[in-house]
A and B are shown apart, each in its own frame.
Chain A
């Protein structure tokens, strides 16, 4: 009951003309930032911080503006994933796997609407979760120490096999490449630079946004240059936005995947350091595990887009939990939001809900409101955004190139990163030619470092005793899921499928 009262107080903070206008602007800009490859939620939020300062906004209004951009970008990221096979931001990576095949089948409109609904559902679940559980959820985050994180990331890697390609060897090779990329830079556990060749630019490691934009956007440009004649004809024929409203049957079919995706995503989101990418990743791989009975995943299955989209939006909301309640950002964007709160003289942490209820509840109320705006922006009005991305490739590709360069330069102000991006573009082009999937490379680059540091933290704490990784209940549960869900099928999978085949033959 108390929660409801707080929420109503929150709505009274959020529903001023100024705050509603800010939420509208934020949602629109966020969707645009999300849809443009290379620009993500973190850029969007960072760009708007100085603006909110110079407008002289108070803490609640600034947070409303910035989180609207954040949520908006989470919606927007899917648009370019689905339409042009380039993820708009990194959590939208998994949406390319089934989203683009749907586009090739002429079902782009349906994919966009379904993912719009999934995004809405995921965000709402996360916002409700944030509201009801935030103070308690601190405890769940506290259950996760280095040992638990190590187990979690091993599980994430165990699921990689099922992600994108049918050729396991190529998938393993791809993830190994990603892991190799993640080892570059100063090793935090010893302070020693690795694979840096004495070049200071490598000391902080390679920002995986550079890898993503290089491998997806820049390599796409190379592919386009290579096949410009064939592609131009093919694309024109295929990308038609048909049925905007999917059949009710399809919504019913995908609904369970949205629920699963939202819960998994929210859970991944509240773990500091895991973030939205892990959320959409786990949501996709689990969904594939559960629903891929007819081998439709990767070929344009609706559930292959709804699960990761619900997952990444829920994770975005979930990431606000550790940020507000512990002062620990769960993702890059929340790190920027945290900095913003600190500059406003608001200390996130266990007492935030008590000391600044107007900010917290105003924010939660605004998140609900922003979600409805975004649903409208992203379903009936989605054509507006798709227009931009459906320009003929000869106009679109130069724009993609321009945005990639501006976006990457904007992150660090370093021209070295631009060269690196071009390098990864060429590298991505080569991998595509060899039919090596790109997604495991990126997941390796993103998760590798996290897995390594957590493993080494755990081993430092336990004085090198590996059994520490199997001591707590949480680790045991994660290991069991990993073994039963992903390792055993690898060993017995073939046997069982062949038995089933035999059985089917007998029957017929």
Chain B
């Protein structure tokens, strides 16, 4: 895997800031683990959040970002659970992919209740798209075609089979009324960009991915977004995408980005971090980062977030059982 080559070391930021916190707990030498190599979504989450927290002086000193790749995040998860269970100065980047893998038992021996879920910093909503030359104009048309002749449509996405890009299509298909979702042809590529390229080349007929992955191609008019899997239309430049709901298909697929912290973190520290993330979320600076990177609003923290993750783990588990990925 060529693109696994990517790698990184530590961030050497030299920002000296003053603390303004009023909590009993005060983070010192905080660290953010990105459970993957440099360049991916988790790495971006750690670095952008770390930098914003520093710039806004929501934490004192600087946030150290450590890349701990392996096992699709499983290595970092095991490390946090086994070795750093009581670390009050540690946050770890997570996303829907983390929940998906936990749901499917892809982190051997680990479950979602071994850590505390901190909060989300935004979401990348799923889209389903076709190339500009396609005769298909709406999501129901695409799904009708799949229902009629599943072999005629190959869907490409950036995640592995059973991964989030794949599941999004299945969620939409189920809501449309396709009972045996296993018939849907899904081909996995190395990342969304690769999958879009195959769509442009005409090797596949549909694309499933995130808004941010497809932005460049939507701007250039090469691909046509059939539906975005969000509850309401997205703000700003993405507002032209119709939602699946508008088209009568009640499917929502958000790739959320957020953090978990060690299971043994003290309540004081947990509240400190949840507060810092939530404060940061509401600043102008973070809103700018979100809009430039295609992140849509999703503001959950503390208990709310804990429940949200639990629910999403449960629904992914059900779906994965249905398609025979897990027993």
Contacts and interface: CB of A to CB of B under 8 A. Distances in A.
Interface of A: 40, 42-43, 46-47, 49-51, 53-54, 141-147, 186-191, 193, 198-205, 207, 209, 272-275, 277, 322, 326-333, 335-336, 338-339, 342-343, 345, 347-352, 410-414, 416, 446, 449-450, 453, 457, 460-461, 463
Contacts of B37: 411-412
A209 to B, nearest CB: 7
Contact of B160 (A188, A274, A327, A412): A188
Given A204-B69, A412-B7, A349 B1 contact: no
A328 B193 contact: yes
Given A189-B161, A413-B68, A463-B151, A332 B3 contact: yes
Contacts of B189: 457
A179 to B, nearest CB: 14
B216 to A, nearest CB: 2
Interface string B293-325: 100000000000000000000000000000001
B160 A343 contact: no
A82 B108 CA distance: 44
B185 A335 contact: no
B284 to A, nearest CB: 16
Nearest to B292: A345
B22 interface: no
B145 interface: no
B4 A207 contact: yes
A347 B214 CA distance: 10
Interface in B168-203: 185-191, 193-194, 196-198, 200-203
Nearest to B3: A335
Contacts of A352: 216
Nearest to B107: A200
A487 B27 CA distance: 65
B161 A327 contact: no
A335 B2 CA distance: 9
Residue among A335, A343, A412 with the most chain B CB within 10 A? A335
A190 B216 contact: no
A338 B194 CA distance: 13
Given A457-B188, A460-B185, 18 more contacts: A50-B10, A146-B203, A186-B72, A191-B162, A200-B74, A200-B75, A207-B4, A207-B5, A209-B5, A273-B194, A339-B40, A339-B44, A347-B215, A349-B220, A413-B67, A413-B69, A457-B189, A460-B187
B193 A50 contact: no
Residue among B14, B37, B47, B217 with the most chain A CB within 10 A? B37
B203 A461 contact: yes
Given A205-B4, A339-B44, A412 B69 contact: yes
Contact of B7 (A46, A142, A144, A345): A46
Residue among B4, B51, B185, B292 with the most chain A CB within 10 A? B4
A201 B70 contact: yes
Contact of B219 (A199, A347, A453): A347
Contacts of A142: 197, 200-201
Given A42-B5, A46-B8, A414-B70, A349 B106 contact: no
Given A50-B12, A410-B7, A349 B219 contact: yes
Nearest to A410: B9
Contact of A201 (B3, B14, B71, B185): B71
B163 interface: yes
B135 interface: no
A51 B14 CA distance: 10
A203 B74 contact: yes
Contacts of B74: 200, 203
User: Which 3 interchain pairs have the tightest Cβ spacing?
Assistant: A332-B5, A349-B216, A339-B39
A274 to B, nearest CB: 8
Given A145-B198, A345-B292, A204 B12 contact: no
B16 interface: no
Interface string B74-109: 110010000000000000000000000000101110
Contacts of B162: 190-191
